[in-house]
Amino acid sequence: MDVELPTMFPWQREVLERALALKQENRLPQAVMLETASDYQMDDLARYISMLLLCDQPQNLSLCGICEACRMMSAGTYADFSLVTLEVDTKSKKMSKNIKIEQIRNLIHELHLTRKYSRLKIAVIYPAEAMNKSSANALLKTLEEPAAGVLLLLVTRNPGRIPITLRSRCQSWTIDPADQQASLEWLTDQGGDAKTAAQYLQYASGDPLLAMDLQQQNYAQRVDSFKSSLTAFLRGGKSVSELCKNLLSGEVSVSRRLIEMTLKAYCYKACGIDSTGGSTASMPSTVEWSRAQELLDLQRRAQQQLQEENNLDFQLQLEDVLISLKQILTRRLN
- Positions that interact with Zn ion (CB under 5 A): 55, 64, 67, 70
Amino acid at 189: D
- Strand extents, DSSP E, 144-253: 150-156, 171-175
Q: For Zn ion, which is the closer residue by CB, 55 or 136?
A: 55
Q: For Zn ion, which is the closer residue by CB, 53 or 150?
A: 53
Q: For Zn ion, which is the closer residue by CB, 55 or 139?
A: 55
CB 68 to Zn ion: min, Å: 8
CB 117 to Zn ion: min, Å: 13
CB 212 to Zn ion: min, Å: 26
Q: How far is CA 107 from the centre of its chain?
A: 23
Q: How far is CA 2 from the centre of its chain?
A: 29
Q: For Zn ion, which is the closer residue by CB, 52 or 153?
A: 52
Question: What is the rounded CA–CA span in Å between residue 49 and residue 28?
Answer: 13
Q: For Zn ion, which is the closer residue by CB, 59 or 276?
A: 59
Please report the DSSP string for 230-256 in residue order: HHHHHTTSS-HHHHHHHHTTS-HHHHH
CB 56 to Zn ion: min, Å: 5
Amino acid at 177: P
Helix (H, G, I), strand (E, B) or coil at 159: helix
CB 70 to Zn ion: min, Å: 3
Question: What is the rounded CA–CA span in Å between residue 247 and residue 225?
Answer: 9
Helix axes 42-54, 13-24, angle to 10 degrees: 30
CB 148 to Zn ion: min, Å: 23
8 Å CB contact between 61 and 8 = yes
Q: For Zn ion, which is the closer residue by CB, 67 or 108?
A: 67
| Sign of the dihedral through C-alpha 116, 130, 5, 22 | negative
**β-strands 171-175, 81-84: how paired?**
unpaired
Neighbours of 87 (CB within 10 A): 12
Q: For Zn ion, which is the closer residue by CB, 64 or 261?
A: 64
CB 71 to Zn ion: min, Å: 8
